[in-house]
């Protein structure tokens, strides 16, 4: 019996529309109304400015550890821009700009990173899951949401975010495999930012692209220039339309770069060169998009000032939040509090009555700062 080829050789597309030198492929340029372009740029800039502000807030001890998005604004905004509010958005933990776009208030994001669970509660009408921290474990949830939408006959599409490191996890494989079998309305958005903390992509996989992994699951995958918001949007719109039309899942690999630290507890000088970072700074997604808007005369004046004022007002609202009421820790363990937990709650209530509630950071000396964190905070000095 002869050997024969069962499948044709595959090819993977890479999509780029607006490159880092500002060259535009007008044949591929997506149609976005002027107002949409302005809102998109504003959301990207808000993501960048808030990110920079949050790094300072963290260094000052006003919020805890968080994962900055700097450099990935186009990847997350170009994709989430293709969703309707009734679609579902499933984040990992580095999607601040996309989450703000989906309706999370800035002060809620700050609350979340200041250790308040209230910051992770989506609004009742919001079709968004909260931040998930264990890598790739949110991907099967998104597939389940998509199955449920299909089961109920709803028109919703699910978009789930994860990084390049997540593609090495078992949950990634299981989720994409099931999504292919079930043919559910979902878009998998991989933010390939080149680094999973200190481990570069070449140590994650021997695949030429991450997008090609989709082919093994029987659905399309496409690689896009993740710093080109027009390319990310064009690919995402196509994938969302395919999903809504019953065409099943798509994997989009956004090739981007984390310009900042993995989290505020990370020191990237340990594992990557300054030259590499500088080279990627030349491909900054905001620079090329602002130039594109400039040519269209769509750049708003004093936009940065407006955004900074919006952030400052939100920081004020965040800092005006009262101390966390410890007693509420029992509110959402179960639908109904079992007797044991009622007793524990009662014990805590009595303790709190005896001594005024104190913040945990006042009771014990603060822990040693993590790498990169300054030792000062507003509570010591």
Partner 1 sequence: MAKLNMVKALNLALHEEMERDPDVLIIGEDVGVDGGVFRVTEDLHRKFGGRRVIDSPLAEAAIIGTSVGMALYGLKPICEIQFSGFAFQCFHQIENHAARYRMRSQGRFHCQMVIRMPYGGGVRALEHHTESEEQFYAQIPGLKMVIPSGPRTARGLLVSAIRDPDPVIFFEAKGLYHAAREDVPDETETLPIGRAQVVQEGKDLTLIAYGAMLRVAREAAQVLHDEDGAEAEVIDLLTISPLDRETLVASVQKTGRAVVVHEAPKSFGAGAEIAASIMEGAFLSLEAPIRRVAAYDVSFVGFARERATVPDVARVVAACRQTLAF
Using CB under 8 A as the criterion, which residues of the chain lie in contact with partner 1 when the complex forms? 117-118, 120-124, 129-130, 132, 134, 137, 139-149, 151-152, 170-171, 174-175, 177-178, 181, 331-335, 338-341
Measure the CA–CA gap between 219 and 337, rounded to whole angstroms.
45
Residues 6+ apart with CB under 8 A from 156: 86, 87, 88, 127, 146, 149, 185
Between the CA of residue 237 and those of 116, 156, 242, 244, what are the distances in Å?
35, 14, 8, 10
Residue 64 and residue 139: Cα distance in Å, rounded? 25
Pick the closer one to partner 1 by CB: 293 or 341.
341
Cβ pair 243, 249 in contact under 8 A? yes
Looking up tokens 């695949």 gives 207
Which position among 262, 288, 292, 345 bears the catalytic label?
Answer: 262
Q: Which is nearer to partner 1, 117 or 197 (CB)?
A: 117
Query: Hey, how many other C-beta atoms are within 10 angstroms of the C-beta on 65?
Result: 14
In the complex with partner 1, which residue's Cβ is closer, 78 or 180? 180
Would you say 64 or 372 has its CB closer to partner 1?
Answer: 64
Rounded least distance, CB 343 to partner 1, Å: 9
Helix (H/G/I), strand (E/B), else coil: 159: strand
Least distance from partner 1 to the Cβ atom of residue 322, Å: 16
The total number of residues shown for the chain amounts to 381
Q: Which of 14, 56, 271, 374 is catalytic?
A: 271
Give the nearer residue to partner 1 in terms of CB position, either 327 or 333.
333
Distance of closest approach, residue 340 Cβ to partner 1, in angstroms: 6
Supply the minimum distance, in Å, between the C-beta of residue 359 and partner 1.
19
Dihedral of CA 185/28/101/287: which sign? positive
Distance in Å, CB of 78 to partner 1, minimum = 24
Closer residue to partner 1, CB minimum distance, 102 or 288? 102
Catalytically annotated residue among 102, 258, 288, 345: 258
- Residue 273: helix, strand or coil by DSSP? coil
| Strands 221-225, 250-255: pairing kind | parallel
| Shortest Å, Cβ 337 to partner 1 | 9
Our answer to whether residue 332 is catalytic in this structure is: no
Query: At 71, phi and psi to the nearest 5?
Result: 105, -20
Residue closer to partner 1 (CB basis): 17 or 98: 98
**In the chain, where does DSSP find H-type helix?**
34-59, 73-80, 96-101, 106-113, 139-152, 170-182, 201-204, 213-216, 229-244, 274-281, 285-295, 303-319, 339-354, 360-363
Residue 154 CB, nearest approach to partner 1 (Å): 9
Active site residue 271: yes
Answer yes or no: 14 catalytic. no
Write out the catalytic residue numbers. 258, 262, 271
């Amino acid at each position: 019996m002869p050997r024969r080829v069962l499948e044709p050789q595959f090819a993977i597309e890479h999509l780029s529309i607006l490159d880092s030198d500002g060259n535009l492929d007008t044949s591929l340029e997506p149609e976005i109304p002027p107002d949409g372009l302005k809102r998109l740029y504003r959301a990207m800039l808000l993501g960048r400015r808030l990110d920079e502000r949050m790094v300072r807030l963290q260094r000052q001890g006003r919020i805890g550890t968080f994962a900055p998005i700097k450099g990935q604004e186009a990847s997350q905004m170009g994709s989430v821009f293709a969703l309707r509010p009734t679609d579902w958005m499933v984040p990992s933990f580095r999607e601040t700009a996309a989450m703000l776009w989906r309706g999370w208030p800035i002060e809620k994001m700050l609350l979340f990173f200041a250790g308040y669970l209230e910051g992770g509660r989506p609004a009742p009408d919001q079709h968004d899951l909260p931040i998930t921290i264990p890598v790739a474990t949110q991907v099967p949830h998104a597939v389940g949401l998509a199955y449920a939408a299909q089961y109920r006959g709803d028109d919703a599409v699910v978009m789930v975010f994860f990084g390049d490191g997540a593609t090495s996890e078992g949950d990634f494989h299981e989720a994409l495999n099931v999504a292919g079998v079930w043919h559910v309305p979902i878009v998998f958005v991989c933010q390939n930012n080149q680094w999973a903390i200190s481990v570069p992509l070449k140590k994650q996989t021997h695949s030429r692209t991450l997008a090609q992994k989709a082919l093994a699951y029987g659905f399309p995958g496409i690689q896009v220039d993740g710093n080109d918001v027009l390319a990310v949007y064009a690919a995402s719109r196509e994938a969302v339309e395919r999903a809504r039309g019953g065409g099943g899942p798509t994997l989009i690999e956004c090739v981007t770069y984390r310009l900042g630290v993995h989290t505020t507890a990370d020191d990237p000088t340990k594992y990557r060169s300054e030259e590499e970072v500088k080279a990627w700074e030349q491909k900054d997604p905001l620079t090329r998009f602002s130039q594109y808007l400039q040519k269209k005369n769509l750049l708003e004046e004093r936009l940065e000032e407006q955004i900074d004022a919006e952030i400052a007002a939100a920081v004020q609202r965040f800092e005006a939040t009262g101390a966390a009421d410890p007693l509420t820790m029992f509110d959402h363990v179960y639908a109904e509090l079992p007797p044991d937990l009622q007793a524990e709650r009662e014990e805590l209530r009595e303790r709190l009555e005896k001594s005024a509630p104190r913040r945990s950071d006042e009771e014990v000396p603060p822990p040693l700062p993590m790498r990169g964190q300054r030792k000062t905070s507003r509570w010591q000095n």
